[in-house]
Amino acid sequence: MSDTPHVEKTPTETIDVPAMEQQAAKSAIQLSTESRGKNRRSPITRRADLPMARRVVVKVGSSSLTSIENSIDENALRSIVDALGRVKAQGVEVVFVSSGAITAGLQPLGLSRRPKDLATKQAAASVGQGLLISRYTDYFARYDVTVGQVLLTAEDLMRHSQYKNAHRQIERLLDLGILPIVNENDAVATHEIKFGDNDRIAALVAHLIKADALLLLSDVDALYTRPPKDGGERIPTVEDPITDLEGVEIGTIGRAGVGSGGMVTKVQAARIAASSGIPALVTSAANIESALAGDDVGTWFATTGGRRNVRLLWLAHLADIKGTLTLDDGAVEAIRGRRSLLAAGVTEVSGKFTAGDPVAMVDSHGKEVAHGLINYASNEVPGMLGKRTHELGEEFGEDYARELVHVDNLVTMRPRSARTKLKRTV
């Protein structure tokens, strides 16, 4: 008889390798989400990863929510709420940027078209905001979701103290399980500080709360090389906005539109987000379910940079440029090397501005190099051009013995492709 001991065999477990890989990916994304660092890029790197995002900003345009004839499109609102309600039930933190306040207020005020004057826009917005938030409150309640309204102006995200307050408010709402609904505060915004569209608000809010992804939804299903009726092809992914969008015809809002943006502002907003480490998807509101599921819809803007100071983000993409400084080759090289702009390197000035205003800096061929906040008024600069700092101090006094634009108030620009075309959609 053999002395070999009897060993009872246990059943072998089948290891589901794909499931383990998916769980590992989710864990990595969760860890990255929990450590939302200063220069962090989103852990979401592909459209297919969207279901694993833990915090998303979703913006829906006016044309997908409202119409001049019928005020609020109830069916469209329900579809949006259904999709967001289901995602939130899965544990995803959602910030909803909703347009449509002005248009929603037109019918109750007896207006047949979108007003052009600011006061009437503000009146319509004050009525429309109440109507929209009432609908959202009722519809989201079906998913046991409480909503909170957050009204922002450009100033709220440009000044440090107000930026911090906006950040605290939205973060606290999310901590409490509330779904924040953000809109531009049209009722108080002025021409000087008005964003002009909610697309860029959405991009800055995504930056503010360190979102994993930004969805920009309208009535257009994707970005096309030209209008689809003219044989245009869908652009599925934008890795580099300069090369990938070369020759593309980007439509602006038409005369019959109800919003203030159009595809051009969605592309701008997607670029803002991507340049600050947050991927963006541009598609239609009708595709919201597919988009959140990571399906191959719309146009995906991959990240092109890490997180940036919000003031520099504003300066690069949103600032109302008041003047232009033409630089010599040495000054251009200094700017690109992250140094301050000195008067000695400026050959020409144009525009009307005061100290602290945003100005553009261009090279000798007129190509934009940077944006910055200038330290002097437009009537002071011409007499300073071409002079060294010590010469300025000797001639004008110590207050002039400094740079025109300090490096901390300067952001270098990457120009849009010269062949990208803007086409008005009517």
Predicted confidence (pLDDT) per residue in 75-94, tens digit: 999 999 999 999 999 999 99
Question: Region 370-384: what's the mean pLDDT?
Answer: 94
Question: Region 130-137: what's the mean pLDDT?
Answer: 94
Residue 15 has pLDDT above 80, yes or no: no
What pLDDT shows up at residue 36?
A: 46
Distance CA 137, CA 152 (A): 19
Higher pLDDT among residues 140 and 19, named by residue: 140
Question: Region 384-406: what's the mean pLDDT?
Answer: 92
Q: What is the residue extent of each domain of the chain?
A: 39-315, 320-412
What pLDDT shows up at residue 362?
A: 95
| Spatial CA neighbour of 211 closest among 25, 23, 99, 44 | 44
What pLDDT shows up at residue 316?
A: 81
Least-confidence region, from 263-267, 295-299, 421-425: 421-425
* Answer CATH for 320-412 from 1.10.10.60, 2.60.40.1940, 2.30.130.10, 3.40.50.300: 2.30.130.10
What pLDDT shows up at residue 158?
A: 65
Whether 39-315 shares its CATH topology with 320-412 is answered no
Higher pLDDT among residues 246 and 188, named by residue: 246
What pLDDT shows up at residue 160?
A: 64
Least-confidence region, from 133-142, 182-191, 230-239: 182-191
Residue 253 has pLDDT above 70, yes or no: no
Residue 318 has pLDDT above 80, yes or no: no
What pLDDT shows up at residue 276?
A: 86
Percent of the chain with pLDDT over 90: 50
What pLDDT shows up at residue 425?
A: 42
Higher pLDDT among residues 257 and 90, named by residue: 90
Question: Region 197-219: what's the mean pLDDT?
Answer: 90
Residue 70 has pLDDT above 80, yes or no: no
What pLDDT shows up at residue 415?
A: 56
Answer for the pair 272, 200: CB distance below 8 angstroms, yes or no. Answer: yes
- Which tokens hold the place of 187? 């009722």
What pLDDT shows up at residue 80?
A: 96
What pLDDT shows up at residue 211?
A: 95
Three-class secondary structure assignment of 295-329: CCCCEEECCCCCCCCHHHHHHHHCCCCCEEEEECH
Residue 27 has pLDDT above 70, yes or no: no
Residue 287 has pLDDT above 50, yes or no: yes
Residue 29 has pLDDT above 70, yes or no: no
> What is the topology classification, in CATH, of domain 39-315?
Carbamate kinase (3.40.1160)
pLDDT band at 312 (very low <50, low <70, confident <90, very high): confident
Distance CA 199, CA 215 (A): 10
Question: Region 107-114: what's the mean pLDDT?
Answer: 87
- Which tokens hold the place of 132? 């929209």
Instruction: Report the interhelical angle of 263-275 vs 310-317 (nearest 10°).
Output: 150
